[in-house]
Amino acid sequence: MTDPPVVGNLTRARRDPRVRGAVGVGVLFLAVQLLALAAAPRLAGSGVSYGSGGDALVPLVLGLVVGTVLSLAVVRYGASRRLVRGVMLVSLGAAQWFALSAFLGSLAGAVAAAAGTLLAWRVPRPAVRNAVAVVGVAGGAALFGASLAPAYAAGALVLAAGYDAYAVYGSGHMLDMADASADLRVPSMFVVPTDDGYDDANATVTGEGTPAATLLGAGDALFPAMLTASVGVGAPGSLAAAAPLLGSLVGLAALQVLVHRVRGVHAGLPFVNGGALAGWLVVVLA
């Protein structure tokens, strides 16, 4: 007795490493959005933010500049890996604290964030680093979502998408940054292994050959979650935040289709930010 065609197709799809990778990345992406959406109103209510309106744009841009400089310093100029890794781990711990303190309080949140950072440093497993990255990215998205009005958050998404496209297709330095992240063993990207032979110790981002894992940069999850969180803070108790969330998921699906059909490294923010912005505009113009 043979399985019906539909069942057979579903079975093959589950076994396809590309499908497993896309689904895994999608789950992590959604987890960031939901955690940021839950944490942002709590941070705003407790006064933990960078101000109101567009005040948070300055620290947001500075954070991106510092992260870029540190990553390129390792790859292009041979900067001390220990120093750069230390700075990035401290930043990761702080980002986790914003998410965890919203639910656990300041002290317990600090202890949990320190434990998460230690795990990310000492346990080089994708599952562990993905879990820590979800909390850290959601914490950053919640902080900026609680600080920026939706219009300013939307403006940040437009600028970030343009920068990402230039960094990938223009200057190409985004590939250097991704390789630096892999080399530093810092959870600044989501990694979903799709091959039993995946070796985190030798992981690089080249865009060539058969990929052993599906990757998604932390920024690709942070920016759309920031807009979702901002809308959630601005319209509590409504379903308005669902629009940018669903839009970004559509953008992520489109990105995965492109990645699996066209080899190479692709800019993610034009897709996920574009989807989030489209969803937000539907709510604004409705």
Question: What pLDDT score was predicted for residue 60?
Answer: 81
Question: What pLDDT score was predicted for residue 209?
Answer: 47
Question: What pLDDT score was predicted for residue 52?
Answer: 66
Question: What pLDDT score was predicted for residue 114?
Answer: 96
pTM above 0.75, yes or no: yes
Q: Output the CA angle 197-199-202, nearest 5 degrees.
A: 130
Q: Which helix (H) or strand (E) holds 218?
A: helix 218-234
Q: Which residues contact 22 (CB under 8 A, 6 or more apart)?
A: 214, 253, 256, 260
Structure tokens at 16: 């396809």
Q: Which residue has the tokens 């600028």?
A: 159
Question: What pLDDT score was predicted for residue 265?
Answer: 76
The length of the chain, given as a count of residues: 286
Question: What pLDDT score was predicted for residue 85?
Answer: 80
Closest CA to 277 of 167, 153, 134: 153
pLDDT along the chain (286 residues), means of 10: 49 64 93 96 85 73 77 66 80 93 95 94 88 96 93 94 90 72 76 71 50 82 96 87 96 91 83 97 90
